[in-house]
Structure 1
Amino acid sequence: MDATTWELVHRLVGWLDDQSPVQGDMAKAMRVLKIGEEFGEVAEALHGVMGANPRKGTSHTWDDVHKELSDVAITALIALASLTPDAQKLFDERLQQIGERSLS
C-alpha cells in the first residue's frame, strides 16, 4: 500500500466511519479523546524506558516510545480529518505558522 499520508488518513477515517458503533458528533468526540489514550501509552513507555516505576523496572525500549509517539500523531491526524474536510490545508497552514513564529 503506497498511499500518501493524507490519502491513508482519509481511508482510515472512512473505515472508522463504517466500523464505529457511534456516529456523528459522538464519533468525532471519541476520536479526539483517543489522542489522550494514546498519549497515556507514550507516558507509560517513557516511564518504562527510564525505569521510573520501581515495581516494573525497565519495561520498555526507545522503539516502544517511538511507536507510541507515532500513534499519537496518527490519531491526531485522524481526529482532525474527522472534524473537517480541510484537515490537510489547516494542518499545513498551522505548521507554517508555528515554523515562522519559532524559526524567524
Structure 2
Amino acid sequence: MTNMTNAWQAIRQLVGLLDDHSDLPHDQRILFQLLKIQEEAGEVAEAAIGAAGQNPRKGYSHTWQDVEAEVCDVIVTGMVALMRLNADGEAVFARHVQRIIDRDLTPADTQQPELPLPQGPSAPESV
C-alpha cells in the first residue's frame, strides 16, 4: 500500500514524464491538463452508466470496479493539474484538506461561536 508522500512523488515523476513528451508552452500544458480532468470525469459517467446498464445499446458494459478505476484516474489527473499549476502542489492540497477538516469535521463544541445578529432598527427581520 502506498502512502500519500509516495503518491505525490509518483505524481511529480508523472508530471516530468508528461512535460518531457510535450513541446507546448507551460501555460498550454496547464490548460490541456485542466481539460483532461473533464475528459476523465466523462469516463466516470460512462462507466457508471455502463455499470448500471443504462445504455440500451451497450447494456451492462462496465463494472463498479471500472467506476472506481475511473474515479482514481480523475483524482490522479487532478493531482497532476495541481502540480502543474504549483510545483508545491502537495502542500497546497494539504492546506486545502486542513481547511475542510477545520470547517466541516471539527466538533461543534470546539468551533468558534457565531456572533449574534445585530438588534435594533437596522437589524434584519426574522422570517
Identity %: 45
TM-score (norm 2): 0.77
* Count of aligned residue pairs for this structure pair: 103
Shift of 1:98: 1.1
Q: Tell me, in whole angstroms, the C-alpha distance in 1 between the residues paired with 2:29 and 2:16.
A: 12
Query: Please, which of 1, 8, 11 is the counterpart of residue 10 of structure 2?
Result: 8
Matches within 5 A, 1:49-60: 49-60=51-62
Shift of 1:55: 1.8
State the match for 1:99 in structure 2.
Answer: 101
State the match for 1:74 in structure 2.
Answer: 76
The answer to whether the Cα contact below 8 Å between 1:10 and 1:81 also exists between their aligned partners in 2 is yes
Question: For residue 103 of structure 2, what is the amino acid of its counterpart?
Answer: R
Q: C-alpha root-mean-square deviation of aligned residues, in Å?
A: 1.4
Shift of 1:33: 0.7
- Which ranges of structure 2 fall in alignment gaps of 5 or more residues? 107-127
Q: Tell me, in whole angstroms, the C-alpha distance in 2 between the residues paired with 1:29 and 1:80.
A: 11
- Which ranges of structure 1 fall in alignment gaps of 5 or more residues? none
Greater Rg over alpha carbons, structure: 2
Kindly provide the CA deviation profile for residues 44-96 of structure 1, in whole angstroms up to 9, marking residues without a partner as x. Answer: 00000111112211110011001000000000000000011120111001011
